[in-house]
Structure 1
Amino acid sequence: MTDYNNESTLKQNPTLHMEALKTAITDGDEEQLKGLLTNEIFDELQKSHLIHLAEETGNSDIVKILKGTPATP
């Protein structure tokens, strides 16, 4: 089982980091999501994908958090 709280593992594996973000979004875990977003900058496509996922879950607080995350064009 993957430890999504292990920051060094997530930094070494970007795919694993994205999966941890998706898990936090679908679980509605705002605190975990905020921790994973620390010092994170997505491109617009990644950010859009995560926002869409959050909108599908119906959690408006998660959507707001993601919309406030910086992204590069």
Structure 2
Amino acid sequence: METNNTHKHSQSIANFAAIKTAIANNEEALLKELIADQAMQELEKSYLIDLAGLSNDPAILKIIKDIPVEK
């Protein structure tokens, strides 16, 4: 039986994978939808900034840089 924490962790991993895919595909609208009002850890954000830098899309990079960091 899956606990609530395990389920949330699985959703978190799936959401992070979807965010990476949206960045790689330059899907600005989907990216905004996936990160709507979410904060993330500094390491995750740094990784996504690096990934967005590879796509050379300033709009995607700005979306990622505007994500708040968890405290």
Q: TM-score, normalised by structure 2?
A: 0.81
**Structure 2 runs not aligned, ≥5 long:** 1-7
Say which structure is richer in strand: 1
Deviation readout 1:20-40 (Å, 9 max, x if unpaired): 000100000000000001121
Are positions 1:14 and 2:12 aligned together? Answer: yes
Tell me the equivalent position of 1:70: 68
CA RMSD of aligned residues (A): 1.8
**Structure 1 runs not aligned, ≥5 long:** 1-9
Q: How far apart in 2 are the matches of 1:64 and 1:47? A: 12
Q: TM-score, normalised by structure 1?
A: 0.79
% identical aligned pairs: 34
Tell me the equivalent position of 2:29: 31
Q: How many matched pairs?
A: 64
